[in-house]
């Protein structure tokens, strides 16, 4: 297994959309430098989206369409923290930085 590289930081994410509008990231898939896909189970997460004071409910709005999650995954037996961003306008998931 090679080192994970993400030039454009786009990743595949399996997530759950609950009936109250929240998003729960479950799995993450990225391509390593050898072209092989690596899948990681998200062990825990925290929604750190800044909703603003005037926005009382946790849903993406026209003003704030970016969801931000701090996630813990297991990589080669070590727990790693990553940050995921979800853009609801583009329907794309990204990592904030090169993390593995």
List C-alpha distances in Å: 48 to 2, 35, 70, 100: 30, 31, 7, 21
Question: Token digits for 93?
Answer: 């998931």
Per-residue model confidence (pLDDT) at position 86: 94
Cα–Cα dist 39/73, whole Å: 10
Strands of the chain, DSSP E:
10-17, 23-31, 37-47, 66-75, 78-87, 92-95
For residue range 7-24, what is the model confidence (pLDDT) as tens digits?
568 999 999 999 998 899
Q: In this structure, is residue 35 part of a structural domain?
A: yes
In angstroms, what CA-CA distances link 67 with 3, 5, 59, 70?
27, 23, 9, 10
Compute the distance between CA of residue 22 and CA of residue 3 in angstroms, rounded to an integer.
Answer: 32
For residue range 25-63, list pLDDT tens digits in order. Answer: 999 999 888 999 999 999 999 999 876 655 555 555 556
Asked whether residue 4 is domain-assigned, the answer is no
Q: Which residue has the higher pLDDT, 99 or 94?
A: 94
Domain that holds residue 45: 10-95
Q: Is the pLDDT of residue 4 over 70?
A: no
**Number of domains forming the structure of the chain:** 1
Q: What is the pLDDT of residues 70-94, one digit of tens each?
A: 999 999 899 999 999 999 999 999 9
Specify if 3 maps to a domain.
Answer: no
What pLDDT score was predicted for residue 32?
85
């Amino acid at each position: 297994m090679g080192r994970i590289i993400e030039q454009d930081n786009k990743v595949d994410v399996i997530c759950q959309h609950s009936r109250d509008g929240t998003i729960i990231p479950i799995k993450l898939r990225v391509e390593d430098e050898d072209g092989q896909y690596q899948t990681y189970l998200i062990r825990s997460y925290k929604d750190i989206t800044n909703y603003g004071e005037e926005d009382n409910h946790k849903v993406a709005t026209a003003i704030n369409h970016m969801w931000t999650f701090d996630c813990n995954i297991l990589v080669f037996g070590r727990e790693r923290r990553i940050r995921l961003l979800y853009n609801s306008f583009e329907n794309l998931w990204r990592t904030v930085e090169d993390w593995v």
